[in-house]
Structure 1
Amino acid sequence: MALARRATHAGSWYTNSGSELNKQLEDWLEEAELSHGPARAIISPHAGYSYCGECASFAYRQISPIVVRRIFILGPSHHVRLAGCALSSASIYQTPLYDLHIDKQVYRELKETGHFEMMDMTTDEEEHSIEMQLPFIAKTMEDFKDSFTIVPILVGSLSPDREALYGRLLAPYLADPQSLFVISSDFCHWGQRFRYTYYDRSCGPVHRSIQNLDKMGMNIIETMNSPSFTDYLKKYGNTICGRHPIGVLLQTIQCLKGNANGQRMNLKFLKYAQSSQCINMNDSSVSYASASLVVE
Structure 2
Amino acid sequence: MSSVRRATHAGSWYSNSDRELGDQLEKWLNAADLCHGPARAIIAPHAGYSYCGACGAFAYRQVSPICVKRVFILGPSHHVRLSGCALSSTLKYSTPLYDLTLDQGVYDQLYATEQFERMSLSTDEDEHSIEMHLPYIAKVMENFKGQFTIVPVLVGSLTPEKEARYGRLLAPYLADPANLFVVSSDFCHWGQRFRYVNGGDRANGHIHEFIQQLDREGMDIIESLDPAKFTQYLQRTGNTICGRHPIGVLLNAAAALRSSRRPPRMAFKFLCYRQSDRCRTPADSSVSYAAGSLVFS
After TM superposition, the score normalised by the length of structure 1 is 0.99
CA contact (8 A) 2:2 2:89 kept: no
Paired letter, 1:181: F
**Aligned residue in 2 for 1:244:** 245
CA contact (8 A) 1:36 1:292 kept: yes
**Aligned residue in 2 for 1:291:** 292
CA contact (8 A) 2:205 2:281 kept: no
Q: For residues 24-173 of structure 1, what are the structure 2 equivalents within 5 Å?
A: 24-173=24-173
Q: Distance in 2 between matches of 1:25 and 1:162?
A: 35
CA contact (8 A) 2:129 2:184 kept: yes
**Aligned residue in 2 for 1:223:** 224
**Aligned residue in 1 for 2:178:** 178
CA contact (8 A) 1:203 1:209 kept: no
Paired letter, 1:197: V
SS at match of 1:71: strand
CA displacement 1:118-154 (0-9 Å, x = unmatched) = 0000000000000000000000000001110000000
Q: Distance in 2 between matches of 1:262 and 1:199?
A: 40
Percent of aligned pairs sharing the same letter? 65
Structure 2 residue 7 is the aligned partner of structure 1 residue 7: yes
SS at match of 2:67: coil
The Cα of 1:199 is off from its aligned counterpart by 1.4
Paired letter, 1:217: G
Q: For residues 176-215 of structure 1, what are the structure 2 equivalents within 5 Å?
A: 176-199=176-199, 201=202, 205-215=206-216
224-233 or 2-11: bigger deviation? 2-11
Q: Distance in 2 between matches of 1:126 and 1:37?
A: 32
Q: Distance in 1 between matches of 2:241 and 2:62?
A: 23
Paired letter, 2:36: H
Q: Distance in 2 between matches of 1:172 and 1:203?
A: 48
User: Residues 203 and 259 (structure 1 numbering): CA distance in 2 closer, same or farther, change over 3 Å?
Assistant: farther
**Aligned residue in 2 for 1:278:** 279
Structure 2 residue 267 is the aligned partner of structure 1 residue 266: yes
The Cα of 1:159 is off from its aligned counterpart by 0.3
User: Residues 30 and 203 (structure 1 numbering): CA distance in 2 closer, same or farther, change over 3 Å?
Assistant: farther
Runs of 4+ aligned residues of structure 1 deviating over 2 Å after TM superposition are 200-204
CA contact (8 A) 2:272 2:291 kept: yes
Q: Distance in 1 between matches of 2:120 and 2:23?
A: 33
The Cα of 1:52 is off from its aligned counterpart by 0.1
Q: Distance in 2 between matches of 1:140 and 1:294?
A: 17
Matched positions, count:
296
SS at match of 1:133: helix
SS at match of 2:66: coil
The Cα of 1:204 is off from its aligned counterpart by 5.8
Q: Distance in 2 between matches of 1:226 and 1:186?
A: 18
The Cα of 1:2 is off from its aligned counterpart by 6.5
Q: Distance in 2 between matches of 1:282 and 1:95?
A: 37
Q: Distance in 2 between matches of 1:92 and 1:119?
A: 14
Contiguous gaps of at least 5 residues in structure 1: none
Q: Distance in 2 between matches of 1:292 and 1:234?
A: 25
Paired letter, 1:245: P
Paired letter, 2:277: S
User: Residues 203 and 236 (structure 1 numbering): CA distance in 2 closer, same or farther, change over 3 Å?
Assistant: farther
